[in-house]
Structure formats: C-alpha cells, structure tokens
C-alpha cells in the first residue's frame, strides 16, 4: 500500500497562475476587480487562504509583491494630509457607505470596501491635480492668486490656496416688484360681474355650466359667458323677491301610510315583502297580489 504524504501543492507551485489555468485555486470566485494573475497571487500571499506558507516564503512574497497600501503609503499620506487640511474640503476621512455625492476617479476602482475605494480614488485625483500644476509651472504659467508651498515626492510644488466657503448672506434682500399690467387675484366666474369680459370657461372645461345646454351656434367661450350671465340674473331676481316664512302645523299621532296600491295589483320586479305570496302559485304576480289584497281586507288586517 502506497502512502502519499499530505504535501501542499501551492507552496511548490509558482507564486501566481497564468490565464488558462484550469486547476483549483482557493477563494478565487470571491475575488473580483483584479486580473487572474493578481487574484491568484493573493491566494498565495494571504495567510488565511494559504496557511501552509513558511515564514521565509511569506517574507519573500511581501518584499517582492508589497500590498497596494504599502506601495503608496509614503505618497498617499502626504497627499491626503494636504487635502484634509484644505478649508473647503467636503471629503472627510471617515466616509460612510451610502454617500451619493460625486467622488472623483471613483469609476477606476472596484472590488474593495467603500473606505478603500474612496481613499484610492481621492488620492489619484489629488495626484493628478499636483501633476497638472507641475506641468503648468514647467510651461511658465504663474497663477495670479496666492500660493502655498507643499512638499511632494522629491520637490516643492506651488498650488493655489483653496478659498474658504462663506456661510453668511452676501446678496441683498429683493424688494417686491409690482407690474402695471398685473392681473387681479383669481375670482370664480360665478362671482364676476356680467360686464366682466373674463366671465367664461375656456374650451375643455368638463364641469357643470348652468343654462348652457339650450344655447347653440357660437363658440364655447361666448356660450358659457351668455349662460353664466343668464344664471347670475336669475339668482339676483330670486334674492330680491321677498319671501315669507309660515309655520306649518304637523299632525299629531301616527300617520297612516299605504304600501300596497289601493285598487290595483303590484307590478312585477317588486322586491318588497308580500304576506302570503309564497303560499300562492299558478297565477301571475299581479293576480296573486290582487287576491291577497282582497283576502287581507276581508280578514280586517288592512283597511282601504
């Protein structure tokens, strides 16, 4: 029986795989935003993914393939420190996830946490600004505003100072403006006078217009104007007519009301209650109700 030693294949293999490798690579499906070589390289360097690496191999890998934060730590700290000390800086160090504002160069980074993406994109933006200003100085461009010296990389750069945002009100209060052709406030067409030319409804009005139906032969605004004027005149005459209030005497006691017709039968489709109807059959509804009415009169139940 051949006993095979539990030998780690990854410690003997190269420190990254080339594209087209079809073997198993741990945690590869959870790594996004990087090339195949960088993704497999991470699986060899990470202690949690590949715990079989020796201390010597870990040290060599860290020296040969330093992390992104280690490669840019010397420059990024200085660039972000300059950005952090700017008076008008809206980007804080503790940016939380869910920020929907504009972050420059954000589209160039993905597959990381929001904090790392924000830090890398802002660092790239500041680096581009410094590089552009350096090119302007090489061309002999001198900014007119005050400048401050900042040490970056191997030399000094002169960048314009960021102006401080003023939170006080600088614009004067606007005075009210009154136009000579200013229209009066909106008044209902029913409350306008008959001589008012604006007393009409525009075409497309779907509401009720009193006295409009008998009028024909003209455009809609003229018809509604005439109908509204006629309705206003009728309401004014009704208000001017004197009225007298007379007291009405109500009858005391019960008032006899008759549900059933006095000298005829009930028409079909009647949905009320008819006593004794379910015991009558073989006739129409009219004949049955007529016979039932006569029977109730003879028994003295109802009186007509």
For residue range 158-169, what is the model confidence (pLDDT) as tens digits?
Answer: 556 666 666 665
Residues 82, 151, single domain; the answer is yes
- How does residue 48 score in pLDDT terms, banded at 50, 70 and 90? low
Residues 269, 292, single domain; the answer is yes
Residues 200, 221, single domain; the answer is yes
- For the stretch 232-241, pLDDT in tens is 999 888 877 6
Residue 1 lies in a domain: no
Residues 91, 154, single domain; the answer is yes
- For the stretch 193-225, pLDDT in tens is 888 888 899 998 988 999 898 888 889 999 999
Residues 55, 87, single domain; the answer is no
Residues 45, 87, single domain; the answer is no
Q: Is the pLDDT of residue 282 over 70?
A: yes
Residues 80, 41, single domain; the answer is no
Q: Are 199 and 227 in contact (CB under 8 A)?
A: no
Residue 98 lies in a domain: yes
Residue 59 lies in a domain: yes
- For the stretch 136-157, pLDDT in tens is 887 765 554 444 444 444 445 5
Residue where a domain stops, chosen among 141, 160, 179? 160
**First vs last Cα of the chain: how many Å apart?**
120
Residue 46 lies in a domain: yes
- For the stretch 76-111, pLDDT in tens is 666 666 666 665 566 666 677 777 778 888 888 877
pLDDT in the model for residue 286: 81
Domain total in the chain = 4
Residues 283, 298, single domain; the answer is yes
- Helix extents (H) in the chain: 9-12, 36-45, 55-64, 68-71, 73-84, 114-138, 220-240, 285-298
Residue 171 lies in a domain: no
Sequence-separated (6 or more) residues with CB below 8 Å from residue 287: 265
Residue 143 lies in a domain: yes
Out of 54-63, 179-188, 244-253, pick the least confident.
Answer: 54-63
pLDDT in the model for residue 229: 93
294 against 68, higher pLDDT: 294
- How does residue 68 score in pLDDT terms, banded at 50, 70 and 90? very low
Residue 168 lies in a domain: no
Residue where a domain stops, chosen among 160, 177, 207? 160
Residues 82, 138, single domain; the answer is yes
Q: Is the pLDDT of residue 227 over 50?
A: yes
The interaxial angle of helices 73-84 and 114-138, nearest 10 deg, is: 80
Q: Which domain holds residue 32?
A: 9-65
Residues 210, 281, single domain; the answer is no
Q: Is the pLDDT of residue 290 over 80?
A: yes
Residues 77, 147, single domain; the answer is yes
Residue 107 lies in a domain: yes
pLDDT in the model for residue 50: 58
């Amino acid at each position: 029986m051949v006993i095979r030693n539990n030998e780690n294949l990854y410690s003997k293999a190269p420190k990254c795989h080339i594209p087209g490798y079809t073997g198993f690579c741990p945690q590869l499906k959870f790594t996004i935003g990087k090339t195949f070589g960088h993704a497999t390289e991470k699986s060899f360097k990470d202690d949690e993914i590949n715990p079989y690496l020796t201390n010597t191999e870990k040290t060599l890998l860290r020296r040969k393939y330093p992390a992104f934060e280690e490669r840019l730590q010397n420059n990024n700290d200085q660039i972000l420190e300059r950005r952090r000390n700017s008076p008008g800086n809206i980007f804080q160090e503790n940016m939380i996830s869910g920020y929907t504002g504009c972050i420059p160069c954000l589209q160039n980074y993905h597959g990381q946490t929001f904090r790392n993406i924000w830090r890398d994109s802002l660092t790239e933006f500041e680096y581009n600004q410094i590089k552009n200003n350096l090119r302007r100085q090489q061309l002999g461009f001198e900014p007119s505003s005050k400048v401050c010296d900042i040490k970056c990389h191997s030399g000094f750069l002169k960048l314009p100072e960021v102006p401080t945002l003023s939170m006080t009100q600088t614009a004067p209060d606007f005075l009210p403006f009154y136009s000579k052709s200013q229209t009066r406030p909106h008044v209902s067409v029913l409350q306008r006078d008959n001589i008012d030319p604006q007393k009409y409804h525009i075409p497309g009005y779907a509401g009720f217009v009193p006295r409009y139906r008998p009028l024909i032969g003209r455009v809609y605004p003229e018809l509604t104007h005439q109908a509204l004027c006629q309705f206003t005149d009728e309401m004014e005459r009704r208000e001017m007519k004197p009225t007298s209030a007379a007291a009405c005497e109500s009858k005391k006691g019960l008032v006899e009301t008759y549900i059933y017709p006095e000298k005829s039968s009930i028409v079909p489709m009647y949905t009320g209650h008819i006593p004794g109807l379910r015991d009558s059959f073989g006739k129409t509804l009219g004949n049955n109700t007529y016979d039932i009415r006569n029977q109730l009169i003879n028994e003295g139940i109802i009186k007509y």
